[in-house]
Every structure is written in C-alpha cells, then in structure tokens.
Chain A
Amino acid sequence: MRLASKRKSGDPMIVVDHVTKFYHGETVLDDVCLELGEGTNLGLIGPGGAGKSLLLKTIAGLVKPDRGSVYVDGHNVTRMKETELAELRFDIGMLFQNYALFDFMDVHGNVGFPLRQVGGYTEEQIAARVSELLSLVSLPNIGHQYPNELSGGMKKRVAFCRAVATRPPILFYDDPTMGLDPVTSSKIFIHLRRTQQAGGTTAVTVSHDIGGIADICDKFAMLDHGRLIFHGTPEEIERSDVRLVKQFWQGVSDD
C-alpha cells in the first residue's frame, strides 16, 4: 500500500460503519454496516435502485455519507482531505457501471492512464501492459480507437482493463459484466478470481449475474431500498429465510 496502513493486525480491510445517505429528502442508504477482511471478495447484490453503486462510491470516498464512517485500511475516508484520499486511491482500482472512459483519450491512453499516474513505468512497459490487458479481454487491436467508436460491451472491457492496470490491492467493480456476452463474462470472472488469488486482492463486486459472482465471491451482502438485508457467506445465503434474498439468489419471482 502506498499510504501507510492504520489497521491493527487482524482488523478488516474495509469497514462500513452505520452509513446513512439522504438524497432529495429520501434515505438512499439506511444505517448500513459491513466488514470486509483482507483478500476477501464481497458480492454486493440487490434490485436496481437499492443503493449498491452509491455504497460502492461511498466506500471509495467519492461520495460523503450524511451519517456514519467508512474505513479503508484503517483510514477514515469520510474525514480525509482530497489530497490524502488521492494517496489512498493509488491503491484502489474502480470499474464504473457506465464505463466512465475518458472520451478525449483513445483506448491505449485510457488503459495506460493509471500507470502514468502511479509512475515508475516506462512507455514500453505501459504499452506492454496495455496490450496484455486488451488481449486478455479479447480486444487486442483497438488501442488507437476512441470510446465513442466502441460498443457498450467493448467499453466495459476497456474500463475493466483500466481498473486493474496497476494491479491495485483493493478493487471495486460496479457490474463488471453488464452488457457482455456469456463467453466474455466468463473470461472477466475468471480474471477476477485469478487477480484475487494471485495478489490477495480485496474486492467489492456489484453484479446482477448471480451465477458469475457466486463462483468468485467469498461473502455476499444484499441491499434493498438502501437497507442491508443480508450479509454472510455463500452457504448462509443458500440457507437464508429472507424472501427477497431467496428470490434474488434463485432468480425466481412471486408471479
């Protein structure tokens, strides 16, 4: 980690402590509490509009909660200044739901951007890493293209490459396989698992692809209307009595 850890031995890597967020008078995150150990991959699930992406942004320090605190590696991100947060963010990779690719840069520029920011890489090393990542997501020859020339699925894969380019120890994926075909989705999930296994990465993955994240996540949390209605292991979610959790996990409805 670039910023010295403030965690004691055995403390969780990420702590969400009674986080509440209001938006236009509505409670969009309601007293959410979560803990995530180092090297754990948490699958964050829930219906659309439940607050999953907002929670992810709150953990990343991009959104300040109205109540409660978030700790990442012992640092209270809700109280850190932007300059301190910037130091912490060198160790965080984030994949946005709507890609958030820089449209003023080509694909090569986008994927290589975090490497240039972190520093310590030559242009040859950056080019090699970019090629390696683009090949991994089956897009080997699109480095010169701009985001507006790509399909949604291609943008998602490029955004994935940008998120993992620096091999950060903490990763946040907001719907990494949205809009992808099953084969590419499978490749992405395999890569997520490999990344985690290789480097002990701590990750939070928001996804509606239950089948996919079931294979890669060690823990699951489910949000509904901003409230955390489940937090536990895959075995616990299998046995859960909560109707919405069961429905979501099994992919069935009341109708």
Chain B
Amino acid sequence: MINPLRRLFHVIGEQFMSLAFDVGGICLMTWRIFVALSPPRLDGPETWKNLYNVGVKSFPIVVVTAIFTGAIMVLQAGLYVKQYGADGLLGWGAGFSVLREVGPIMIGLMFSGRVGANNTAELGTMKVTEQIDALRALAINPLHYLVLPRFLAMILMLFLLVVIGDLTALVGGAVTSQYLLGVDTELFYWSLVTYIHLEDFTSGLAKAAAFGFAIGVISCHFGMTVSGGAVGVGRAVNNSVVASAIAIFVLDYFITFVIQ
C-alpha cells in the first residue's frame, strides 16, 4: 500500500512540475515568437485566413456580447441615477466602465473561449495526428507557418474587435437608457463626450492588445505541446482557456495599476 503522505507529496510535486512546464513553455513560446518576428517571415495566405477566422468570424459574437454589456451597465447604474436624479452622469458611468474595464475584459474572455480554445484544439489535433511533424518533414517551420499568423491575427483582431465592441456597447447603453430609463440619448451622448477622456478609451485598447498577446501565446503553447491523443487535446483546451482567463485578469490588474 502506498504511503498517503508520499502520495500527497507525489501529487503536489507532479502539479508543481506541470505548472513549471507550462510557465516555462509559455516564456519559451514568447521568446521563439520574438525571434521568429525578427525579421517576420509570414505565410501570406495563412495570415489572411487567420485574420478572417479570428476576426471576421468573431464579429457577431462580439457585437451581441457588447450590446448586452452596455445595456447591463446602464441598467445597473439606472437605479441610482433615477434615485438621485443624476441623469447627466449615466453616459459617463456606462462609458467609463465599458471603455476602461468591462468592454476589454468581456470581449477578451469571449475571444479566449472562441478563438483561443479553437486555436489550441486545432494545433493540438495537428500535433497528435503528426501534421506538425509532416510540416517539419516538408522543410516548413511550424512556428512561421502556423504560430506567427495566428499570434499576430489575435493581437490585431482583438484590438479591432474591442474598438467595435466599445462602440456597440455604448450604442446598447444609449438605447437602453432611452427606452427603459427614459434618459434622452442626447443627454447620454453629452455626458459621454463631456466626461470621458481619450485615455479612458486608449487604456482599454492597450488592454485589448495585451490580452490578444496573452491569448495568442498561451493558446499556441498549449496546442503545440499536446500529447496523449484526443484526451490530451481536451485537457490542453481546458488548460488554455483557464490560463488565458487568469492572464486576462492579472494583466488587467497590472495595466490598470501602471496607467493610474
């Protein structure tokens, strides 16, 4: 019979080694990407394909998420706005929270769930079915052919999707304030442009680029290091989504801290 204490240490050690492998692997993947980017050698058709898959196909889900995010922000604030008669602050309240925090985080999490998970599953399946080895056997560096286009597409497209998402969320908020709270759209707009500064918008975009970077590196790392067939792919997708979500919140904290 195995000593329970020994077993406990074994489990802790195994978890620690697994964590160390992934943290080290993510750092190594970041380094490799930077090395591969100097100078960048991208496959044109693969890059365009990924920009389409990552960006255009995420557009509907981002728009729907953003509309409801803006609407929820207004509904939450609406109770107090009505109570204190502060209708003129509604646009500012919704705009500030959406542009600085809720927009990038919500869209980042949706993006991680849709694009990051898909990327890990795709690369992982290619790994376990020897397609990555086949690329190498055909003198193609998988980092240049598969990882770089996805990584760059994720940064660029999450940035653009947050721009679109922010605007859509504000439209959702304005419509909700008009029809559910009776706050005039013009007043909402006035409050928004008067109290919101450009930094509120750009800090959200800085977060979007950082989130795209993190999701790109993490999803590619977990995809490229899959082992163990279909079960391994499932585990990698799960780990990728969890690690991306953690990275989003940790990066959000540090970027907010640095900006403020």
Contacts and interface: CB of A to CB of B under 8 A. Distances in A.
A90 interface: yes
A210 interface: no
Contacts of A101: 131, 134
B136 A103 contact: no
Contact of B139 (A86, A97, A99): A86
Given A100-B129, A102-B131, A94 B141 contact: no
A117 B139 contact: yes
A90 B139 contact: yes
A98 B129 contact: yes
Interface string B134-169: 111111110000000000000000000000000000
Interface residues of A, number: 23
B141 A57 contact: no
A90 B136 CA distance: 10
B135 to A, nearest CB: 8
Nearest to A53: B130
Interface residues of B, number: 14
A173 interface: no
A98 B130 contact: yes
A82 B141 contact: yes
Contacts of B136: 62, 82, 85-86, 89
A46 B175 CA distance: 72
Interface string A98-113: 1111110000000001
A99 B141 CA distance: 19
A194 B130 CA distance: 28
Contacts of A82: 136, 141
A96 B130 contact: yes
B139 A87 contact: yes
Contacts of B137: 60, 62, 89, 92, 94, 96
A101 B133 CA distance: 11
A117 B140 contact: yes
A102 B139 contact: no
Nearest to B134: A100
A250 B66 CA distance: 70
A105 to B, nearest CB: 10
B130 A113 contact: no
A132 B129 CA distance: 27
A96 B131 CA distance: 9
A74 interface: no
A232 interface: no
Contacts of A96: 130, 133-134, 137
Interface of A: 57, 60, 62, 82-83, 85-87, 89-90, 92, 94, 96-103, 113-114, 117
Given A101-B131, A102-B135, 11 more contacts: A82-B141, A83-B141, A85-B136, A86-B136, A89-B137, A89-B139, A96-B137, A102-B134, A113-B138, A117-B138, A117-B139
